[in-house]
Amino acid sequence: MDVEGGHQPLPDQSGSVHLVANGEIYNHRGIRAELGSERFVTDSDSEAALHALLVDGPAGLTRLRGMFALAFTTDDGEFVAARDAVGVKPLYWVRRDDAVLFASELRAFDEADRPAVESFPPGHCWTPNGGLVRFADAVPAQVRPARRAEEPGVWDDALVKAVREAVVAAVEYRMMSDVGIGVFLSGGLDSAIVAAVAAEYADRHDQPLPTFAVGAAGSSDLAAARVVAEHLGTEHHEIVMTSADAAAALPRAVHATEHYDPSLVRSAVPNLLLAEYASKRVPAVLTGEGADELFAGYEYYHEAPFTDPGALQTELVRTVGELHHLNLQRCDRTTMAFGMEARVPFLDRDLIELALSIPPEHKMVRPGVPEKALLREAFAGWLPEDILWRGKEQFGDGSGASEVLSSLGGGDSTAGSHPVDGVRLRTEEEAEFYALWHQEFEGIDPARTLGRFATT
């Protein structure tokens, strides 16, 4: 918003208060109305965060609806650093005796500081006087534990309507842009729903909607995305990935994502190629991340021990809280590697609260009923039936990336019982990706920066 006027560091009218922020504040217009538009000197959404902090101090962070990592400072020594509740945007820090350092990327830290680099926790802020304080939870406390369903798998029209309206509102919030927006369309259910809502919004506002799909020649994702794009009438773009493309992108994917988890890297390769192409056409895209964690889309959610409703609910809450170390890290880094922003409607705070308040029994598969049946039913009529009820495929599989990458080497054999550099590596493929990671990030401790993935 306000590309011309929103240069950072962003000052207030006096010039004595400044903010740097990465991300988007979707409710910035509401905050302007609450605080008084006369305070504002730009139309940048980030300025809403500046004045919320100026008026309320760190408590002002609770006003913000969006994705962000930010630092706020005044000439008289006040300082606040903060990260959004889900951790959609990255933030790292180092606490030294003489200074506290913050950055959005691991590579920003000097060699001497790298052993102490940590992931800054989502939903927290830090001030010199108050230290580290939580201001928001990824999963609001009131949704835990979910109530039990009287009749598992049987829901009323009101719940279907509530899910649909929450998704529509979340997508429409994220259509905010002065310079255009597109959709990453994998052909799976989640991105297809996002594209359908975005297309309806674009039609109402008489604006184009570019959609972007990537895959190996003949891949199921490319075919499905084409069907969705034709149904919605979007400006569709396809990137056909070859083995040579994948081989060239693999080291870049490890370095861009700052990660070495095999499933994440495999899916990051096509994401990186897609982002490189799309960034030349739009500054921001919507994606379908988060829906599987909210509505139990992954296959393992439907296996023991998660066939118990309570265990399933606990696992869904856990995985939403861990997204910033895995899928969100891939989503953000592959797009921002080319200066393009990825927005994640399914991780809107209201949608998270609604989805995780749904009885977990409603998210369990039953004979003849696939995963995410409630979400599918909520968007009946919005998509072709074969897309609406298409079975779940991992992005790396549906795009053909897993098959293409497997031809380059690696594999799933064990990496051995001896950890490398004290880091536990589960497979030969992971060991190869770790070697690429280590070239760029030597000195970084994965246990401090990659969370549960690196420690279990």
> Which region, left, alpha or beta, applies to residue 115 given φ > 0 means left and ψ of -120 to 50 means alpha?
alpha
CA-to-CA separations, 103 to 20, 85, 165, 242, 272, in angstroms, rounded: 11, 18, 36, 35, 22
Query: Is 214 labeled as ligand-binding?
Result: yes
Task: Name, in order, each residue with C-beta under 8 angstroms of 142's C-beta and a sequence gap of 6 or more.
Answer: 353, 357
CA-to-CA separations, 454 to 88, 91, 241, 275, in angstroms, rounded: 19, 18, 30, 27
Query: Is 139 labeled as ligand-binding?
Result: no
User: Which residues line the annotated binding site?
Assistant: 45, 214
Binding site for L-glutamine, by residue number, is: 45
Annotated binding-site residue numbers for ATP:
214
